[in-house]
Amino acid sequence: MNDRKWIAYFLTFFLLGSVCFRPWDVQAAPGVSAHSAILMDQETGRVLYEKNAEQQMKIASITKIMTAIVAIESGDLQDTVTVSSNAAGTEGSSLYLVAGQKMKLEDLLYGLMLRSGNDSAVAIAEHVGGSLEGFVYLMNQKAEEIGMENTNFDNPHGLDDSDTHLSTSYDMALLMKYSMNNETFQEISSTEVHKAPNPNGDWDYSWHNKNRLLTQLYEYCTGGKTGYTKLAKRTLVTTAEKDGEKLIAVTLNGPDDWNDHISMYEYGFDQFDYYVLAKKGSLSEIKDSYYKGKVYIKHEIKYSIKELEKEKIRIHYQMNKPTEKLQTNPPEIVGRAIVEIDKKELFSVPIYFETSSVKEDDPWWKIWKKLFFITIGVSSNG
């Protein structure tokens, strides 16, 4: 197998295994009222609990998580946005922006996430995407990139103006997992109160976060987004952290969503812990004479498991056969570390040769972007 085929092979395993790992033994969390719900480990992606998690449903204002992350990644937070009459006239939850008003994109994002301003969502979309349609295209492009296979966005706010604006608890957990890797998003999502200047008056805007888990009800909550429309009912995405363990909870059509999330978090923190399967760096387990002392993994391998699962989880290493060509011109990736539980593969991570040209501090998405373009035959110059 040539180098390019090996790269494609490991890229496929990485993309399939790194987004999220489906549970092998999901047990019910107590007292979940929501029609659809999920509890996911934020770091490993393991699903710890789910209920109708793949069912497409209306999602209301948790749509704005996607609006926020697309704007953060695609826009300049210091840009001045001029509010259009279209944005100012958006119905529903509002910052009460007026046509012609100017506001920094950063402040609009705080108003979007804390106050859930629909007018802010449209103003952001028109500025970043050039038009509502252009921004919605970016939203769906990002959804495809993340792996949100059962999601379609038709607007940046989540209002019930389309029958095809739908997602699932599982997809929204994937979105939150992705978004929480962005420091700006983390900061906005975790803010309880934000003040912004008002050019049209002698008072400042002051927006209080609607996420009561963060502000009142749950000491371990680290952020999230609320939602409600008449058709979607109550929707909620939150994050929480306790003793270094980070979790994501999502509920759709949840009449008692605050307690649903607390119940799921308490279940997750009580039943699961991180277990380090392999430390980053050199792999002493590889005994082959060619590879011995020359191969490594870039990040520690860990997984969320219950105490009783420890004896059932294993890791083994699959290496390229050290052919003459490989020995004279070794590729970046020469194998993979495979994690199994009860002999069922959960995921795998690439094993690198010590002469790899990939920098230690390269983020995963850059590494796999490079490998993807190599695989399809596109040079770095396009």
For residue range 164-201, what is the model confidence (pLDDT) as tens digits?
999 999 999 999 999 999 999 999 999 999 999 987 77
- Domain 36-192+210-271 fold is Beta-lactamase (3.40.710)
Whole-angstrom CA distances from 21 to 26, 56, 382 are 12, 20, 33
Taking each helix axis from N to C terminus, what angle separates 3-18 and 364-376, rounded to the nearest 10 degrees?
140
User: Per the residue annotation, which of 61, 120, 179, 189 is the catalytic one?
Assistant: 61
Query: Which pLDDT score, from 0 to 100, does residue 30 have?
Result: 63
Active site residue 64: yes
Domain 3-20+274-376 has CATH 3.40.1030.10: no
Active site residue 116: yes
pLDDT tens sequence across 262-296: 999 999 999 998 888 888 888 888 888 888 888 99
User: Per the residue annotation, which of 36, 84, 93, 116 is the catalytic one?
Assistant: 116
Query: Do 63 and 116 contact (CB within 8 A), yes or no?
Result: no
Task: Spell out a b/e string for 80-98, using b for 16 or more CB atoms within 10 Å of the CB, else e.
Answer: ebebbeebbebebbbbebe
What is the spatial distance between Cα 235 and Cα 237, in angstroms, rounded to a whole number?
7
User: Per the residue annotation, which of 64, 142, 246, 298 is the catalytic one?
Assistant: 64
pTM, rounded to two decimals: 0.79
The structure tokens listed for 26 are: 């999901």
Asked if residue 366 belongs to a known ligand binding site, the reply is no
Query: Which pLDDT score, from 0 to 100, does residue 367 have?
Result: 45
250 pairs with which residues across the strands? 38, 237
- Which of 14-28, 216-230, 292-306 has the least mean pLDDT? 14-28
What are the residue ranges spanned by the domains of the chain?
3-20+274-376, 36-192+210-271
Pairing between strand 313-319 and 333-341? antiparallel
